[in-house]
Amino acid sequence: MYCFIKSIHAYLALHQVLLQFTHAPLIIVILLNLIKSIYKTKILITKTIKRKEEMKIMTWRSILPTCYKESNNNKGSSSSSTTTNDEKPKKPRATAVSKEGSFLRISLSDISYPGSPLSVDDLSNNSLLGADIHIFTMTELRTVTHNFSLSNLIGEGGFGPVHKGFVDDKMRPGLKAQPVAVKVLDLEGLQGHREWLAEVIFLGQLKHPHLVKLIGYCYEDEHRLLVYEYMPRGSLENHLFRKYGASLAWSARMKIALGAAKGLAFLHEAEKPVIYRDFKASNILLDSDYTSKLSDFGLAKDGPEGDDTHVSTRVMGTHGYAAPEYVMTGHLTAKSDVYSFGVVLLELLTGKRSMDKARANREQNLVEWLRPQLNDHRKLDRIMDPRLEGLYSTKGAQKAAALAYQCLSHQPKPRPTMSTVVKTLELLQDFDDIPSEPFVFVVPTHDRKEAEEQKEEQKKENRQRMRSQRSPTVYSDSSLNKNTVTSSLNSPMHHLAKRG
């Protein structure tokens, strides 16, 4: 610090000398910018050293939890003696990690950046991710997936292909025999090591019924693989937009929306908040009973902490789902996820994709096209998914549409929190006004007759118009005589005359 101050004094002395020269102001500006950059570098180094010291303390607490528990208990007992009868002791906040002895979730920045206090190799320490996260070898995963056979391929995304497999309980102590989904990083794809690491960090620590369960991973040479629980019904996208097969029932759609909302609310309300950043229909996986779970945490980010209102980051995600303020500024907040949820809720109501180039120009962006109609109950029936065949709750649809309208607000402030969204959707699960049979509109008889008569008249007019448009045929005398002779020879009267 003394050397730093001394260098500033030296530059100030130099400043007095440079004032005598013609280009002194320009040189002074350059020097002042240099001093500013040196000062910023010093602050950054100080923060890095401080963060390393904090992480060392966290690592020791993870390894020796009993010692720190005891000290915390002693601290609590000493402080409780000062609490009066009128004051109630504060209830500790629930941590995002429910593992014994762990009090602080590891952030992605604790490992992914150069100079971070932890490395990927430290993940093998059970105190960081937990004993239920298994480390597989490449050979084991080849066996599990039958050498990544195409017959076991169940999907492919930005990260890479996903294969179905089966793990044996004899493979690892504590590993349950079960079907699994193995996601393989495409080395030539759009995502890479950082996205793989994000999934391991977040899903290795965050546990919730509506987050897909990470069973383990593989980190071997250049190979990066993730092993998840197998979700038998696949993604919401496959069910909602498929051309053939039965459509999702109204009750299933509302159940899926509620489960996904609970998953997002858990992330936002964790002790160290998480912003999902890539909420869309293809990232919502469905269990056999349509329980929805969030998957693919490759783009997830740690939320703002302390006095920060947002996280500044590179704009990433899927076009049509990203919040407008995030696309414009790169400022990421929990309300960005709320907007994305509103897009998926609108897809559930309409059965249409958020972006579709096959639609008319003004209809390609689903939100811009249909959001203005969500608050109009008279127009709501027109935009509901026709494959529902009218088998949905009118009251529930109106409330869900109003909720989607709020979530899709152009400004983040009017959007509700995900906990509010959960409360609203919980009220939409048990409506009794769903019709038992599809609604069929029968055209009245007299209207049908009028429609048929008009159709016949239109046909006659079209015929007359076609005749009038034809050009007249011109015959020469020779061709006319030839045709006359031929037609007379072929006439019935000619044959009768011949017989007589």
Q: What is the pLDDT of residue 245?
A: 82
Whether 445 is covered by a domain: the verdict is: no
Q: Which of 410, 426, 442 is the last residue of a domain?
A: 426
Looking at the structure of the chain, the number of domains it has is 3
Q: Are residues 305 and 202 in the same domain?
A: no
Q: Tell me, yes or no, if the pTM score tops 0.95.
A: no
Residue with tokens 């169940």: 154
Q: Which of 193, 213, 229 is the last residue of a domain?
A: 229
Closest C-alpha among 372, 363, 355 to residue 409: 372
Amino acid identity of 459?
K
Domain of 51, in residue numbers: 2-66
Is residue 278 annotated as a catalytic residue, yes or no?
A: yes
CA distance 315 to 295: 20
Whether 104 is covered by a domain: the verdict is: no
Q: What is the pLDDT of residue 43?
A: 60
Q: Which of 86, 132, 278, 287 is catalytic?
A: 278
Q: Which of 371, 404, 426 is the last residue of a domain?
A: 426
Whether 130 is covered by a domain: the verdict is: yes
DSSP bridge partners of 223:
220
Tell me if 221 sits within 8 A of 267, measured CB to CB.
no
Tell me if 118 sits within 8 A of 106, measured CB to CB.
yes
Q: Are residues 174 and 294 in the same domain?
A: no
Closest C-alpha among 4, 58, 3 to residue 34: 4
Q: Are residues 211 and 264 in the same domain?
A: no
Whether 287 is covered by a domain: the verdict is: yes
Tell me if 186 sits within 8 A of 159, measured CB to CB.
yes
Q: What is the pLDDT of residue 448?
A: 59
Length of the chain in residues, anyone?
Answer: 500
Q: What is the pLDDT of residue 440?
A: 53
CB-CB neighbours of 256 under 10 Å: 23
The three state secondary structure string of 287-351 is: CCCCCEEECCCCCCEECCCCCCCCEECCCCCCCCCCCHHHHHHCEECHHHHHHHHHHHHHHHHHC
Domain CATH code at residue 406: 1.10.510.10
Q: What is the pLDDT of residue 333?
A: 96
Whether 493 is covered by a domain: the verdict is: no
Q: What is the pLDDT of residue 84?
A: 37
Amino acid identity of 261?
A
Query: What are the average pLDDT values for consecutive 10-residue runs of the chain, which has 500 residues?
Result: 54 55 60 67 59 46 39 40 38 38 62 62 63 90 94 89 93 90 85 88 93 94 94 96 89 97 96 94 96 95 87 89 95 96 98 95 95 92 94 95 97 97 94 69 54 69 62 47 48 50
Whether 110 is covered by a domain: the verdict is: no
Q: Are residues 207 and 264 in the same domain?
A: no
CA distance 56 to 104: 12
Q: Are residues 222 and 313 in the same domain?
A: no
Whether 500 is covered by a domain: the verdict is: no
CA angle 315, 159, 137 (to 5 degrees): 135
Work out whether the CA dihedral 87, 269, 239, 402 comes out positive or negative.
Answer: positive
Q: What is the pLDDT of residue 114?
A: 60
Residue with tokens 């709020």: 406
Q: Are residues 59 and 141 in the same domain?
A: no
Closest C-alpha among 191, 185, 181 to residue 215: 181
CA angle 114, 119, 123 (to 5 degrees): 150
CA distance 498 to 500: 5
Whether 103 is covered by a domain: the verdict is: no
